[in-house]
Chain A
Amino acid sequence: MSADTPASSAADLDSEAVADLQARIEELETEVSDLRSEVDDDGPQKMVIIATKGTLDMAYPPLILASTAAAFGYDVTVFHTFWGLEILHEENSKDLQLSSVGNPNMPVPNLVGALPGMDRMTTRMMQNKIADNNVASVEELIETSIASGVDLQACQMTIDLLGYDEADFYDGVTTGVGAASAFQDMVEADIQLLV
Protein backbone atom coordinates (compact mmCIF):
# COMPACT_ATOMS: atom_id res chain seq x y z
CA MET A 1 0.00 0.00 0.00
CA SER A 2 2.58 2.59 1.02
CA ALA A 3 4.63 1.87 -2.15
CA ASP A 4 1.73 2.82 -4.50
CA THR A 5 0.41 5.75 -2.52
CA PRO A 6 2.86 8.58 -2.05
CA ALA A 7 1.94 10.90 0.81
CA SER A 8 1.35 13.81 -1.64
CA SER A 9 -1.72 12.12 -3.17
CA ALA A 10 -3.24 11.13 0.17
CA ALA A 11 -6.06 13.69 -0.09
CA ASP A 12 -7.06 12.52 -3.62
CA LEU A 13 -7.01 8.94 -2.51
CA ASP A 14 -9.22 9.74 0.44
CA SER A 15 -11.93 11.31 -1.67
CA GLU A 16 -11.73 8.39 -4.09
CA ALA A 17 -11.98 5.92 -1.22
CA VAL A 18 -14.90 7.85 0.24
CA ALA A 19 -16.69 7.70 -3.12
CA ASP A 20 -16.05 3.97 -3.33
CA LEU A 21 -17.34 3.48 0.15
CA GLN A 22 -20.41 5.56 -0.59
CA ALA A 23 -21.15 3.47 -3.66
CA ARG A 24 -20.69 0.32 -1.64
CA ILE A 25 -23.00 1.60 1.09
CA GLU A 26 -25.68 2.39 -1.50
CA GLU A 27 -25.27 -1.07 -2.96
CA LEU A 28 -25.67 -2.69 0.47
CA GLU A 29 -28.68 -0.50 1.32
CA THR A 30 -30.42 -1.70 -1.83
CA GLU A 31 -29.57 -5.27 -0.95
CA VAL A 32 -30.87 -4.92 2.61
CA SER A 33 -34.12 -3.33 1.47
CA ASP A 34 -34.60 -6.11 -1.11
CA LEU A 35 -34.05 -8.74 1.57
CA ARG A 36 -36.32 -6.92 3.98
CA SER A 37 -39.19 -6.79 1.49
CA GLU A 38 -38.67 -10.50 0.87
CA VAL A 39 -38.84 -11.28 4.60
CA ASP A 40 -41.76 -8.90 5.20
CA ASP A 41 -43.72 -10.51 2.40
CA ASP A 42 -46.57 -11.41 4.69
CA GLY A 43 -48.59 -13.52 2.29
CA PRO A 44 -50.08 -16.69 3.73
CA GLN A 45 -47.73 -19.38 5.00
CA LYS A 46 -47.57 -22.58 3.01
CA MET A 47 -47.63 -26.29 3.73
CA VAL A 48 -47.00 -29.11 1.29
CA ILE A 49 -47.74 -32.76 2.02
CA ILE A 50 -46.66 -35.59 -0.24
CA ALA A 51 -49.18 -38.45 0.26
CA THR A 52 -47.87 -41.81 -0.92
CA LYS A 53 -49.96 -44.35 1.00
CA GLY A 54 -53.43 -45.64 0.14
CA THR A 55 -54.50 -47.68 3.16
CA LEU A 56 -57.43 -46.64 5.33
CA ASP A 57 -55.23 -45.65 8.28
CA MET A 58 -52.77 -43.70 6.17
CA ALA A 59 -55.46 -41.72 4.33
CA TYR A 60 -56.29 -39.81 7.50
CA PRO A 61 -53.09 -37.99 8.55
CA PRO A 62 -52.60 -35.97 5.33
CA LEU A 63 -56.28 -35.01 5.07
CA ILE A 64 -56.63 -34.05 8.74
CA LEU A 65 -53.45 -31.98 8.70
CA ALA A 66 -54.33 -30.36 5.38
CA SER A 67 -57.82 -29.28 6.40
CA THR A 68 -56.56 -28.11 9.80
CA ALA A 69 -53.72 -26.06 8.29
CA ALA A 70 -56.24 -24.44 5.95
CA ALA A 71 -58.29 -23.44 9.01
CA PHE A 72 -55.09 -21.80 10.35
CA GLY A 73 -54.93 -19.72 7.17
CA TYR A 74 -52.22 -21.73 5.43
CA ASP A 75 -52.03 -22.25 1.68
CA VAL A 76 -52.03 -26.04 1.49
CA THR A 77 -51.08 -28.41 -1.31
CA VAL A 78 -51.30 -32.20 -0.98
CA PHE A 79 -49.51 -33.99 -3.79
CA HIS A 80 -50.82 -37.56 -4.08
CA THR A 81 -48.55 -40.04 -5.75
CA PHE A 82 -48.44 -43.84 -6.07
CA TRP A 83 -50.94 -45.41 -3.65
CA GLY A 84 -51.79 -41.98 -2.32
CA LEU A 85 -53.88 -41.61 -5.50
CA GLU A 86 -56.41 -44.05 -4.03
CA ILE A 87 -57.43 -41.37 -1.53
CA LEU A 88 -58.51 -39.05 -4.38
CA HIS A 89 -60.10 -41.81 -6.47
CA GLU A 90 -63.81 -41.23 -5.89
CA GLU A 91 -64.78 -44.90 -5.98
CA ASN A 92 -61.71 -46.48 -4.37
CA SER A 93 -61.54 -43.91 -1.56
CA LYS A 94 -64.81 -45.26 -0.14
CA ASP A 95 -63.33 -48.74 0.16
CA LEU A 96 -59.76 -48.21 1.40
CA GLN A 97 -58.37 -51.31 3.10
CA LEU A 98 -56.40 -51.95 6.24
CA SER A 99 -53.88 -54.77 6.31
CA SER A 100 -53.22 -56.78 9.45
CA VAL A 101 -50.11 -58.44 7.97
CA GLY A 102 -46.94 -56.63 8.94
CA ASN A 103 -48.86 -54.38 11.30
CA PRO A 104 -47.85 -55.22 14.88
CA ASN A 105 -50.58 -52.94 16.21
CA MET A 106 -53.32 -55.25 14.95
CA PRO A 107 -54.60 -57.88 17.36
CA VAL A 108 -54.07 -60.64 14.79
CA PRO A 109 -50.89 -62.72 14.32
CA ASN A 110 -49.31 -62.35 10.86
CA LEU A 111 -49.98 -65.99 10.02
CA VAL A 112 -53.70 -65.58 10.74
CA GLY A 113 -53.77 -62.17 9.11
CA ALA A 114 -52.54 -63.72 5.87
CA LEU A 115 -55.65 -65.92 5.58
CA PRO A 116 -58.11 -64.99 2.81
CA GLY A 117 -60.70 -62.46 3.93
CA MET A 118 -58.73 -61.22 6.94
CA ASP A 119 -57.98 -57.78 5.48
CA ARG A 120 -61.67 -57.30 4.80
CA MET A 121 -62.44 -58.24 8.38
CA THR A 122 -59.87 -55.93 9.98
CA THR A 123 -60.95 -53.15 7.61
CA ARG A 124 -64.57 -53.55 8.69
CA MET A 125 -63.52 -53.46 12.35
CA MET A 126 -61.66 -50.20 11.73
CA GLN A 127 -64.55 -48.71 9.74
CA ASN A 128 -66.92 -49.48 12.62
CA LYS A 129 -64.55 -47.88 15.11
CA ILE A 130 -64.30 -44.78 12.93
CA ALA A 131 -68.09 -44.51 12.76
CA ASP A 132 -68.57 -45.23 16.50
CA ASN A 133 -66.11 -42.51 17.46
CA ASN A 134 -67.68 -39.88 15.18
CA VAL A 135 -64.51 -39.59 13.16
CA ALA A 136 -65.17 -38.05 9.74
CA SER A 137 -65.10 -40.33 6.69
CA VAL A 138 -62.34 -40.00 4.09
CA GLU A 139 -64.91 -38.63 1.64
CA GLU A 140 -66.05 -36.01 4.15
CA LEU A 141 -62.45 -34.92 4.81
CA ILE A 142 -61.76 -34.63 1.08
CA GLU A 143 -64.85 -32.48 0.56
CA THR A 144 -63.98 -30.36 3.61
CA SER A 145 -60.40 -29.93 2.39
CA ILE A 146 -61.48 -28.85 -1.09
CA ALA A 147 -64.09 -26.48 0.37
CA SER A 148 -61.35 -24.98 2.61
CA GLY A 149 -59.20 -24.22 -0.42
CA VAL A 150 -56.72 -27.10 -0.08
CA ASP A 151 -55.20 -27.98 -3.45
CA LEU A 152 -55.44 -31.76 -3.73
CA GLN A 153 -53.16 -32.82 -6.57
CA ALA A 154 -52.99 -36.16 -8.37
CA CYS A 155 -49.57 -37.00 -9.82
CA GLN A 156 -49.99 -37.34 -13.59
CA MET A 157 -47.27 -39.97 -13.98
CA THR A 158 -48.96 -42.26 -11.43
CA ILE A 159 -52.39 -41.65 -12.98
CA ASP A 160 -50.98 -42.97 -16.27
CA LEU A 161 -49.04 -45.76 -14.55
CA LEU A 162 -52.09 -47.09 -12.72
CA GLY A 163 -54.32 -46.63 -15.77
CA TYR A 164 -56.68 -44.11 -14.14
CA ASP A 165 -58.64 -41.36 -15.85
CA GLU A 166 -59.02 -37.75 -14.71
CA ALA A 167 -62.76 -38.35 -14.38
CA ASP A 168 -62.10 -41.03 -11.72
CA PHE A 169 -61.12 -38.39 -9.17
CA TYR A 170 -63.22 -36.11 -6.97
CA ASP A 171 -64.36 -32.81 -8.49
CA GLY A 172 -61.83 -30.12 -7.65
CA VAL A 173 -58.78 -32.43 -7.72
CA THR A 174 -55.87 -30.96 -9.72
CA THR A 175 -54.41 -33.26 -12.37
CA GLY A 176 -51.62 -32.73 -14.92
CA VAL A 177 -48.99 -32.04 -12.26
CA GLY A 178 -45.63 -33.70 -11.71
CA ALA A 179 -42.61 -33.88 -9.47
CA ALA A 180 -41.27 -30.51 -10.64
CA SER A 181 -44.35 -28.59 -9.59
CA ALA A 182 -44.46 -30.50 -6.29
CA PHE A 183 -40.80 -29.68 -5.70
CA GLN A 184 -41.33 -26.01 -6.53
CA ASP A 185 -44.21 -25.89 -4.03
CA MET A 186 -41.97 -27.53 -1.41
CA VAL A 187 -39.22 -24.96 -1.96
CA GLU A 188 -41.66 -22.14 -1.25
CA ALA A 189 -43.37 -23.91 1.67
CA ASP A 190 -42.85 -23.34 5.38
CA ILE A 191 -43.76 -26.95 6.18
CA GLN A 192 -43.07 -30.01 4.00
CA LEU A 193 -44.19 -33.50 4.97
CA LEU A 194 -43.92 -36.89 3.35
CA VAL A 195 -46.69 -39.27 4.43
Chain B
Amino acid sequence: MSTETAAETLDVKGQNCPMPVIKTKGAFDDLAPGEVLEVVATDSGSVSDIAGWAESTDAAELVDQTEATEGGEDVYKHYLRKTE
Protein backbone atom coordinates (compact mmCIF):
# COMPACT_ATOMS: atom_id res chain seq x y z
CA MET B 1 0.00 0.00 0.00
CA SER B 2 1.60 3.25 -1.03
CA THR B 3 0.59 6.71 0.03
CA GLU B 4 -0.21 7.79 -3.53
CA THR B 5 -3.63 6.17 -3.39
CA ALA B 6 -4.65 8.03 -0.23
CA ALA B 7 -7.22 10.72 -1.00
CA GLU B 8 -6.63 12.51 2.31
CA THR B 9 -3.95 12.57 4.98
CA LEU B 10 -4.70 13.20 8.63
CA ASP B 11 -1.75 14.25 10.78
CA VAL B 12 -2.25 13.42 14.47
CA LYS B 13 1.43 13.33 15.38
CA GLY B 14 2.03 14.32 18.99
CA GLN B 15 -1.56 13.58 20.00
CA ASN B 16 -2.44 10.90 22.47
CA CYS B 17 -5.39 8.61 23.25
CA PRO B 18 -8.29 9.14 22.51
CA MET B 19 -7.60 11.87 19.94
CA PRO B 20 -6.18 9.77 17.04
CA VAL B 21 -9.33 7.63 16.83
CA ILE B 22 -11.72 10.55 17.28
CA LYS B 23 -10.02 12.63 14.59
CA THR B 24 -9.80 9.58 12.31
CA LYS B 25 -13.56 9.15 12.59
CA GLY B 26 -14.07 12.84 11.73
CA ALA B 27 -11.80 12.74 8.67
CA PHE B 28 -13.18 9.36 7.55
CA ASP B 29 -16.73 10.73 7.51
CA ASP B 30 -15.67 13.29 4.90
CA LEU B 31 -14.34 10.65 2.47
CA ALA B 32 -16.23 9.55 -0.62
CA PRO B 33 -16.89 5.79 -1.00
CA GLY B 34 -13.80 4.01 -2.33
CA GLU B 35 -11.37 6.64 -1.10
CA VAL B 36 -8.50 5.88 1.28
CA LEU B 37 -7.53 7.93 4.33
CA GLU B 38 -3.95 8.00 5.55
CA VAL B 39 -3.54 8.66 9.28
CA VAL B 40 -0.08 9.61 10.55
CA ALA B 41 0.38 9.18 14.30
CA THR B 42 3.11 8.94 16.94
CA ASP B 43 0.91 7.33 19.61
CA SER B 44 1.86 3.62 19.70
CA GLY B 45 -1.61 2.85 21.08
CA SER B 46 -3.09 4.08 17.80
CA VAL B 47 -2.12 0.75 16.15
CA SER B 48 -4.63 -1.30 18.11
CA ASP B 49 -7.08 1.57 18.59
CA ILE B 50 -7.48 2.33 14.89
CA ALA B 51 -7.56 -1.38 13.98
CA GLY B 52 -10.34 -1.86 16.55
CA TRP B 53 -12.23 1.16 15.31
CA ALA B 54 -12.06 -0.09 11.71
CA GLU B 55 -13.26 -3.54 12.76
CA SER B 56 -16.31 -2.08 14.50
CA THR B 57 -17.13 0.39 11.75
CA ASP B 58 -19.11 -1.12 8.87
CA ALA B 59 -17.92 1.27 6.19
CA ALA B 60 -14.24 1.12 7.19
CA GLU B 61 -11.67 -1.33 5.88
CA LEU B 62 -8.17 -1.30 7.34
CA VAL B 63 -5.95 -1.62 4.28
CA ASP B 64 -2.55 -1.36 5.94
CA GLN B 65 -0.62 -0.22 8.99
CA THR B 66 3.08 0.64 8.88
CA GLU B 67 5.66 1.55 11.49
CA ALA B 68 8.84 3.52 10.78
CA THR B 69 11.31 5.80 12.49
CA GLU B 70 11.23 9.31 11.08
CA GLY B 71 13.40 12.06 12.48
CA GLY B 72 14.15 10.06 15.63
CA GLU B 73 10.52 9.27 16.53
CA ASP B 74 8.34 6.28 15.85
CA VAL B 75 5.68 7.08 13.30
CA TYR B 76 2.66 4.88 12.73
CA LYS B 77 0.73 5.13 9.47
CA HIS B 78 -2.72 3.72 9.02
CA TYR B 79 -4.61 3.33 5.73
CA LEU B 80 -8.39 3.08 5.84
CA ARG B 81 -10.71 2.61 2.88
CA LYS B 82 -14.31 3.74 2.90
CA THR B 83 -16.22 0.83 1.41
CA GLU B 84 -19.72 2.32 1.20
Contact = CB atoms under 8 A, between A and B. Distances in A.
Contacts of A134: 14-16
* Count class of interface residues, chain A: 10 to 19
Contacts of B57: 72-73
B15 A148 contact: no
B75 to A, nearest CB: 14
Interface in A25-78: 64, 67-68, 70-73
By DSSP majority rule, is chain B's interface helix, strand, loop, or mixed? Answer: helix
Given A71-B22, A144-B22, A148-B22, A64 B53 contact: no
Contacts of B18: 64, 67-68, 71, 136
B56 interface: yes
B56 A72 contact: yes
Interface centre among A70, A71, A73 (most CB of B within 10 A): A71
Interface string B1-41: 00000000000001111110110111000000000000000
A19 interface: no
A71 B14 contact: no
A71 B16 contact: no
Nearest to A141: B18
A133 interface: yes
Interface of A: 64, 67-68, 70-73, 133-136, 144, 148
12 contacts: A64-B17, A64-B18, A67-B18, A68-B21, A70-B25, A72-B25, A72-B56, A73-B57, A135-B17, A136-B19, A148-B22, A148-B26
Interface of B: 14-19, 21-22, 24-26, 53, 56-57
The 4 closest A-B pairs by CB, nearest first: A71-B25, A68-B18, A134-B16, A71-B22
